[in-house]
Amino acid sequence: MSTPAADAAPAVDAADRLQQARSWLRQDPDPQTRDELAGIITRAAAGDRAALADLEDRFGTRLAFGTAGLRGELGAGSNRMNRVLVAQAAAGFAAFLRERAHGSRPAVVIGYDGRRNSQRFAQDSAEIFAGAGLRAILLPRLLPTPVLAFAVRHLGVEAGVMVTASHNPPNDNGYKVYLGGADEGSQIVSPADAQIAAHIERVADAGDIGLLPRDTGYEIAPEEVVSAYIAATAAVAPAPAAAAGLRWVYTAMHGVGAETFARVVESAGYPAPRMVEEQRQPDPTFRTVAFPNPEEPGAMDLAFARARAVDAELVIANDPDADRLAVAVPDASAEGGWRRLTGNEVGLLLGWRAARAVQAARAENPAALPGASLACSLVSSPGLAAIAQHYGLDAHETLTGFKWISRAPSIVFGYEEALGYLVNPGTIRDKDGISAAVALLGLAAEARERGESLSTLLRELGDACGHFASGQVSIRVDDLGVIDALMLSLRTMPPARIGSLAVEAVDDLLQAPPGAPSGDVLRYRLAGGTRVIVRPSGTEPKLKVYLDARGETPEQAAERIADVEAGARALLDERS
């Protein structure tokens, strides 16, 4: 989120902005954000231009409610995550659910992670849902996002809310929404997002959230919900005999995954991991990492150190809400002797596992799993489609986000390269870093039984279905206008070459035909089947460039990626 310069002129009359801020202050139930805002108002009223600019940033717009729900920086104001905004969102969502229920009493389950204010936001939501006449069910304690996604289907409720900002910076939080019924527990998509947003706007326009009815008589979900999730997840890949003695390291990245994952691992029969103790307990400051995202440089350094100390065979990491999975393997050529597999490498291994499971089921019953499909986001590796073709499965390419992937017809596995994997769509319609980790442990044990490793499995997969390599270039900005300008430049003046390869075709997904994935995405098709995709991030102030290549060998595919990566960096430097 960008912050205006101190000498920037306010976008509206200062008196109007001060009036708006004072109105917000009067309804804010949080003493911390009240004190924060009161100080800014005092300075702004005295003519402090920095304070006026701060008010403009906080009140010049609202955090938009979209298909990702809400996510943003904690603080006072309509452009921040706080108790006022959450109350408005909860009341608006309740109105949407009542309207959708056509007179029946809808039920909603609420979960929360270990971030600052997550529990408070969840309790506020439960009280407002109950006060609006809904059946509100609060999960019994802080738990991973996949447990909430599971609970929506397990309890048969109409909706779910998870208070989390996943792997965002420490001072962020968010509000993620799921729908039951025909949506099968998936995250919301259009037009539900716009309908919910309209209800939220009406609540906000009505004024004081203190007038919203509340009821503390909401339910607390029984422990059976968590136990059922653990049983279903352990069943994804029960440990084979070869798993005995497996040495592996796990980190929860200061999040909420450790307790639940440890119970799943024990139930599935795998040996307990060597924990990264410094990162085991939930910590909203994420004190040992600069950025709580396993994809970020340095985030897994403590896990690698632990792995070297215990001579581990692999490392598994979850992000703070445990809906993503990172995997690392020993690699003598890598700095420190460990290499994190890319999201595409893990996705292709798990997709291969799913395809072979379908093949085995059809060997026993040719009519089994009709139309079974593998699905991934359009920025993920084309290798998944190659696996699907090899095993006679359907393949689907969707927009980014599991709200789309989870809706692929007859899906048996789905993934996106940003470390998200859906391995058990029969019980959860969202990415789940815990069930994916269990499936990965099963693959590691399978390789171990043959005296091999995940690295050799990757080569075996490539020999069967093609060797694919991927890469990514990204630019983080303070001003989102930089991203808009870059996309405009690339859209209106497409490059003739990227690296040494000629651009043979350009797909602008803003102009996609009906029925095809559409959005602010540019796809360049290069000579030799190499592909470059450019899109703004949906959750962070980043421009992302995704690179994919296929080769006769892993080495050839890697060489092609290195070439286009250098070309993509040069192109962005030239256009910035």
Convert the pLDDT of each residue in 121-139 to its tens digit: 999 999 999 999 999 999 9
Contact 253, 317 (CB under 8 A): yes
The pairs formed by 80-84 with CB atoms below 8 angstroms and a separation of 24 or more are: 81/117, 81/121, 81/172, 81/173, 81/174, 81/175, 82/28, 82/30, 82/33, 82/117, 83/28, 83/29, 83/30, 83/33, 83/117, 83/120, 83/121, 83/124, 84/24, 84/27, 84/28, 84/29, 84/30, 84/209
Q: Is the pLDDT of residue 107 over 50?
A: yes
248-251 vs 219-220, strand pairing mode:
unpaired
Residue ranges of domains in the chain, CATH in brackets = 1-60 (no CATH), 65-221 (3.40.120.10), 228-340 (3.40.120.10), 344-465 (3.40.120.10), 467-575 (3.30.310.50)
Q: What is the DSSP string of 371-387?
A: T-EEEEETTS-THHHHH
Convert the pLDDT of each residue in 158-174 to its tens digit: 999 999 999 999 999 99
The predicted model gives 63-75 an average pLDDT of 91
Token pair recorded at residue 336: 């420190």
Q: Is 275 exposed, middle or buried (0-12, 13-18, 19+ CB in 10 A)?
A: middle
Convert the pLDDT of each residue in 346-395 to its tens digit: 999 999 999 999 999 999 999 999 999 999 999 999 999 999 999 999 99
Q: Is the pLDDT of residue 3 over 70?
A: no
Please tell me the distance from the alpha carbon of residue 524 to that of residue 497, in angstroms, as a whole number: 10
Element (H, E) at 437: helix 433-449
Give me the pLDDT at residue 541, please. Answer: 85
Convert the pLDDT of each residue in 198-222 to its tens digit: 999 999 999 899 999 999 999 999 9
Dihedral sign from CA coordinates of 17, 22, 27, 31: positive
Convert the pLDDT of each residue in 220-274 to its tens digit: 999 999 999 999 999 999 999 999 999 999 999 999 999 999 999 999 999 999 9
Token pair recorded at residue 234: 């352990």
For residue 102, give every residue at least 6 positions away whose Cβ sits within 8 Å of its Cβ, in sequence order, or none.
none
The pairs formed by 528-535 with CB atoms below 8 angstroms and a separation of 24 or more are: 528/501, 528/560, 530/501, 530/560, 530/564, 531/382, 532/498, 532/564, 532/568, 533/378, 533/379, 534/487, 534/490, 535/379, 535/400
Residue (of 92, 106, 295) closest to 175 by Cα position: 92
Q: Is the pLDDT of residue 520 over 50?
A: yes
CA 285 to chain centre: 19
Residue (of 541, 400, 537) closest to 482 by Cα position: 541
Give me the pLDDT at residue 124, please. Answer: 98
Residue (of 449, 424, 28) closest to 208 by Cα position: 28
Q: Is 452 exposed, middle or buried (0-12, 13-18, 19+ CB in 10 A)?
A: middle
Mean pLDDT of the chain: 94
Instruction: Please compute Rg for the chain using Cα positions.
Output: 24
Please tell me the distance from the alpha carbon of residue 199 to that of residue 129, in angstroms, as a whole number: 14
- Choosing from 78, 118, 166, 373, the catalytic residue is 166
Please tell me the distance from the alpha carbon of residue 553 to that of residue 491, in angstroms, as a whole number: 33
Please tell me the distance from the alpha carbon of residue 441 to that of residue 292, in angstroms, as a whole number: 23
Q: What single letter denotes the amino acid at residue 90? A: A
Percent of the chain with pLDDT over 90: 91
Give me the pLDDT at residue 512, please. Answer: 84
Q: What is the DSSP string of 485-545?
A: HHHHHHHHS--SEETTEEEEEEEEGGGPPTTS--SS-EEEEEGGG-EEEEEE-SSSSEEEE
Please, what's the b/e burial string for 465-483 (b: 16 or more CB within 10 A of its CB; e: otherwise)? bbbbbbbbbebebeeeebb
Q: How far is CA 168 from CA 60, 83, 88, 319, 381, in A?
A: 23, 19, 23, 10, 24
* Cross-strand pairs, 467: 551
Give me the pLDDT at residue 538, please. Answer: 74
Give me the pLDDT at residue 2, please. Answer: 37
CA 200 to chain centre: 23
Give me the pLDDT at residue 1, please. Answer: 36
Give me the pLDDT at residue 12, please. Answer: 63
Give me the pLDDT at residue 5, please. Answer: 38
Q: Is 118 a catalytic residue?
A: no
Contact 106, 77 (CB under 8 A): no
Give me the pLDDT at residue 326, please. Answer: 98
Convert the pLDDT of each residue in 15-63 to its tens digit: 999 999 999 999 999 999 999 999 999 999 999 999 999 999 999 999 9
Convert the pLDDT of each residue in 265-320 to its tens digit: 999 999 999 999 999 999 999 999 999 999 999 999 999 999 999 999 999 999 99
Please tell me the distance from the alpha carbon of residue 407 to that of residue 566, in angstroms, as a whole number: 36
CA 232 to chain centre: 22
**Cis amide linkage into residue 554, ω under 30° from 0:** no
Please tell me the distance from the alpha carbon of residue 202 to that of residue 73, in angstroms, as a whole number: 23
Give me the pLDDT at residue 66, please. Answer: 85
Which is more confident, 307 or 399? 307
Give me the pLDDT at residue 410, please. Answer: 97
467-476 vs 542-551, strand pairing mode:
antiparallel
- Cβ count near 153 (within 10 Å): 18
Contact 435, 236 (CB under 8 A): yes
Q: Is the pLDDT of residue 8 over 50?
A: no
Write down the pTM of the prediction.
0.93
Please tell me the distance from the alpha carbon of residue 258 to that of residue 434, in angstroms, as a whole number: 10
